[in-house]
Amino acid sequence: MASYKAADSKREQFRRYLEKAGVLDTLTKILVELYEEPEKPNNALDFLKQHLGAAGPETADVETLRLEVAELKQKYEAVLEENKELKAKLAQHEPPSDEKRTD
């Protein structure tokens, strides 16, 4: 009987902690929103995550950003290569530093 009261006491302490932190209110509000939703979402867990703010960026957004990053990396590499080539061409047309005239 004593272990039952100890477990019950811990449970009550945890409940008070959640209540004090505002977790119970927030969860209750979100669950009420879900209950009152005229068209229930296919995935209730995603609904909860979105309303808790725990949902990360949408998968499509992440994939779009990954593709954009890959494209920008390719452009960056191309610009670096072009820069290298232009520097080489410029070096061919410039006189060596000891032949430069000083006016």
Residue spans of the domains in the chain: they are 1-56, 57-103
Q: How many CA atoms lie within 13 A of 81 on its CB side?
A: 6
Instruction: Say whether 69 sits in a helix, a strand or coil.
Output: helix
Q: What is the pLDDT of residue 8?
A: 84
Alpha helices in 1-103 (DSSP H): 2-21, 23-36, 44-52, 59-93
Q: What is the pLDDT of residue 54?
A: 65
Q: What is the pLDDT of residue 51?
A: 86
Cα–Cα distance between 91 and 95 in angstroms, integer?
Answer: 8
Q: What is the pLDDT of residue 12?
A: 93
Q: What is the pLDDT of residue 97?
A: 72
Local mean pLDDT, 10-residue blocks, the chain (103 residues): 74 94 92 94 90 70 91 98 96 76 57
Q: What is the pLDDT of residue 99?
A: 59
Cα–Cα distance between 6 and 30 in angstroms, integer?
Answer: 31
Q: What is the pLDDT of residue 89?
A: 94
pTM across the whole model: 0.46
Which residue matches tokens 């902690």? Answer: 17
